[in-house]
Chains A and B, each alone.
Chain A
Amino acid sequence: DAKTTQPPSMDCAEGRAANLPCNHSTISGNEYVYWYRQIHSQGPQYIIHGLKNNETNEMASLIITEDRKSSTLILPHATLRDTAVYYCIVNRDDKIIFGKGTRLHILP
């Protein structure tokens, strides 16, 4: 079973920041938080991952709470091409389990 809990769907207006939450209250000290997304009819695409510190790359920012029990993926300026299912995963040395993710709709 997935170790994370995500809302099944979210809406975001185009051009606004999309903030996708994830709860992982049972995360272990050495487990990373990974985010992937899956655009319709494509394979999942890696976005970002982190352990304790906040992380940023060209796609997104990852904010992890101090107790590491939850995190937020931020897409700073959402576009229609960001419409996808977003998966939050915690993992260290075991198979990656995807769960059902959050279906993000970007509204024009």
Chain B
Amino acid sequence: GAGVSQSPRYKVAKRGQDVALRCDPISGHVSLFWYQQALGQGPEFLTYFQNEAQLDKSGLPSDRFFAERPEGSVSTLKIQRTQQEDSAVYLCASSTLAGYTGELFFGEGSRLTVL
């Protein structure tokens, strides 16, 4: 389909392992967002890209979290030395508009479980 695609859908990691989560936004969408959703909570903002530029990373919880979008399309969220508190669903969204306004199109998320 033409929606936002995320992979893997499910990831189990041992504590201390590094993980990488991929997001394929809708083609041509300028803005890309990452959110973290813990069980029973609403999504929480992590970071925002406008094309290849990471304009806002204020929501990244620690320096173990790193995101990139080198060519302004696909994005990767990397978590180093995973901890149990990193267990969550990681959601990616894209938008046609620059900035924070407008409709966000979300993927189905990547569920990370850290043992």
A interface list, Cβ under 8 A from B? 2, 32, 36, 41-46, 49, 85, 87, 91-101
Check: B108 CB closer than 8 A to any chain A CB.
yes
- Closest Cβ of chain B: how far from A53's Cβ, in Å? 17
Check: B109 CB closer than 8 A to any chain A CB.
yes
Q: Which of B65-115 contact A (CB under 8 A)?
A: 91, 93, 99-101, 103-109
> Which single residue of chain A is at the shortest CB-CB distance from B9?
A41
> Which single residue of chain A is at the shortest CB-CB distance from B46?
A95
- Closest Cβ of chain B: how far from A29's Cβ, in Å? 15
Q: Can you name 6 A-B residue pairings with CB atoms under 8 Å?
A: A2-B42, A32-B101, A44-B93, A46-B104, A87-B42, A95-B48
Contact between B100 and A98 (Cβ–Cβ < 8 Å)?
no
Contact between B45 and A95 (Cβ–Cβ < 8 Å)?
yes
Contact between A44 and B56 (Cβ–Cβ < 8 Å)?
no
> Which single residue of chain B is at the shortest CB-CB distance from A101?
B42
> Which single residue of chain B is at the shortest CB-CB distance from A91?
B100
Contact between B109 and A43 (Cβ–Cβ < 8 Å)?
yes
> Which single residue of chain A is at the shortest CB-CB distance from B43?
A98
Check: B62 CB closer than 8 A to any chain A CB.
no
C-alpha gap A46/B48 in the complex (Å)? 18
Q: Which of B8-63 contact A (CB under 8 A)?
A: 33, 35, 41-45, 48, 56, 58-59
